[in-house]
Amino acid sequence: MSSQQKVQVGDSAPDFTRTTHNGTTINLKSFQGQKAVVLYFYPKDGTSVCTAEACNFRDRYEDFKTAGAEVIGVSSDSAESHKAFASHYQLPFELISDSDDSLRELYGVAPEQTSFGLLPGRVTYVIDKEGVVQLAFASVLESEPHITKALQLLQQQ
């Protein structure tokens, strides 16, 4: 996990209200008392690792729902890009456009230096029903551990 990451395990998840690629308005606090939220930040629609991550969340989506959680993806891509990405890969969960990076800043998801250059961070948060962060996992070049760690945590609760 990056030392620059602001939101840590045990913190109350910062609330936000955003419109999804489907035009639905999501308010994080509205999930409190109802279900956990897996909030995952990823670099870019359509890139190989991001596509693998989204498809893995899609393929395990029913497992996440059974574990009492909703999945929400966030990147700086436009709502139109998200709409095409979600449609092409049949993603059953909402994607949020963070084109001004304000949500990334709110959560402290910093860019990471890789051999490919500077990439937007890839961080997955599991936020419990009370709005408390139970997992904050960062790995910009791997997608599989994001899904595995989040699901394992949810299934243990």
Q: Which residues does 3 contact at the CB level (< 8 Å), separation at least 6?
A: none
Q: Which amino acid is at 58?
A: R
Q: Which residues does 14 contact at the CB level (< 8 Å), separation at least 6?
A: 7, 28, 106, 107
The question of whether 55 is a catalytic residue gets the answer no
Token pair in block for residue 62 = 């029913």
- Output the pLDDT for position 5: 57
17-156 to CATH, choices 3.40.50.300, 2.20.25.90, 3.40.50.720, 3.40.30.10 = 3.40.30.10
Token pair in block for residue 105 = 């800043």
Q: Which residues does 113 contact at the CB level (< 8 Å), separation at least 6?
A: none
The ranges assigned to domains in the chain are 17-156
pTM value? 0.94
Token pair in block for residue 87 = 């449609």
Q: What is the pLDDT of residues 40-90, one digit of tens each?
A: 999 999 999 999 999 999 999 999 999 999 999 999 999 999 999 999 999
Catalytic residue among 50, 69, 126, 153: 50
pLDDT at 1 over 70: no
